[in-house]
């Protein structure tokens, strides 16, 4: 008799505040025999910190440790290839538990399908195993809430942009946007701030680091130290207010 395969569960655990995890995600987390989480070498990881207090002693932890994060690699290595190989390997680790009949809950900070690392496992495994994804509060919504900034009014459109984009491309997209959220800042922050200034959007733009986390920091855009802007920071350009 064949052992029934386990289910792959992608759990969004929210942007940082432990109370922003959904009731459903919390239930499935507690029920899962295996809990997988992405983490950098030598780190505990933000997502793991959110759910650590809810773990049961009998649960198996499956850390999926990134071989690199943002550091430069010597030729002929490429970041994209190293990371792709890592996700291939991580999928094999998860599949071993699924094949043994164990559900695997892979936690993801924010939402699994919004810049979430879980999506790369989903792409590799969801056609072979039963998969369920539980949405989470994503970082841009956490950021809007702590900044007190409504994102879009009435018929306005929202653009979600990566700070990694070249300056001219970023400028073009921002010029066309009613409202925007710019993510993946870090070392890209000086370029992004310069583009906002060129477009005259710097007076509307709002900046927050680690929104909803215990070490959250809200700073006026002009006062941000470009050398200290972390990866977990974002800029919101809210839509023009509408007096409804």
Class in CATH terms, 140-237: alpha beta
What distance in Å separates the CA atoms of residue 81 and residue 130, rounded to the nearest whole number?
27
Domain ranges of the chain: 8-137, 140-237
Tell how far CA 156 is from the center of its chain: 24
CB 223 within 8 A of CB 193: no
Superfamily of domain 8-137: Tetrapyrrole methylase, N-terminal domain (3.40.1010.10)
The dihedral built from the CA positions of residue 138, 208, 234 and 204, taken in this order, carries a sign that is positive
CB 74 within 8 A of CB 82: no
What distance in Å separates the CA atoms of residue 38 and residue 30, rounded to the nearest whole number?
18
Q: What is the pLDDT along the chain (244 residues), one digit of tens a residue?
A: 667 999 999 999 999 999 999 999 999 999 999 999 999 988 888 999 999 999 999 999 999 999 876 555 555 567 788 899 999 999 999 999 999 999 999 999 999 999 999 999 999 999 999 999 999 999 999 999 999 999 999 999 999 999 999 999 999 999 999 999 999 999 999 999 999 999 999 999 999 999 999 999 999 999 999 888 998 899 999 999 887 6
What distance in Å separates the CA atoms of residue 185 and residue 183, rounded to the nearest whole number?
6
């Amino acid at each position: 008799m064949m052992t029934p395969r386990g289910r792959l569960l992608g759990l969004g655990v929210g942007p940082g505040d432990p109370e922003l995890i959904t009731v459903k995600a919390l239930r499935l987390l507690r029920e899962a025999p295996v809990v997988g989480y992405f983490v950098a070498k030598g780190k505990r990881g933000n997502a793991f910190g959110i759910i650590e207090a809810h773990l049961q002693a009998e649960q198996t932890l499956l850390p999926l440790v990134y071989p690199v994060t943002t550091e430069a690699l010597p030729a002929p290595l490429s970041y994209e290839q190293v990371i792709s190989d890592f996700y291939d390997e991580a999928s094999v680790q998860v599949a071993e538990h699924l094949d043994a009949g164990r559900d695997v809950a892979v936690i993801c900070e924010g939402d699994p399908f919004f810049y979430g690392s879980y999506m790369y496992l989903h792409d590799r495994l969801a056609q072979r195993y039963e998969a369920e994804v539980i949405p989470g509060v994503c970082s841009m919504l956490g950021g809007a809430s702590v900044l007190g900034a409504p994102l879009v009014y009435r018929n306005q459109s929202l653009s979600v942009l990566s700070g990694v984009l070249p300056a001219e491309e970023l400028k073009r997209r921002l010029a066309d946007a009613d409202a925007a959220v710019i993510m993946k800042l870090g070392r890209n922050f000086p370029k992004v701030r310069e583009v906002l200034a060129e477009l005259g959007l710097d007076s509307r733009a709002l900046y927050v680091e680690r929104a909803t986390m215990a070490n959250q920091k809200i700073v006026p855009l002009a006062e941000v130290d470009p050398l200290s802007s972390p990866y977990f920071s974002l800029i919101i350009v809210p839509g023009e207010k509408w007096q409804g």
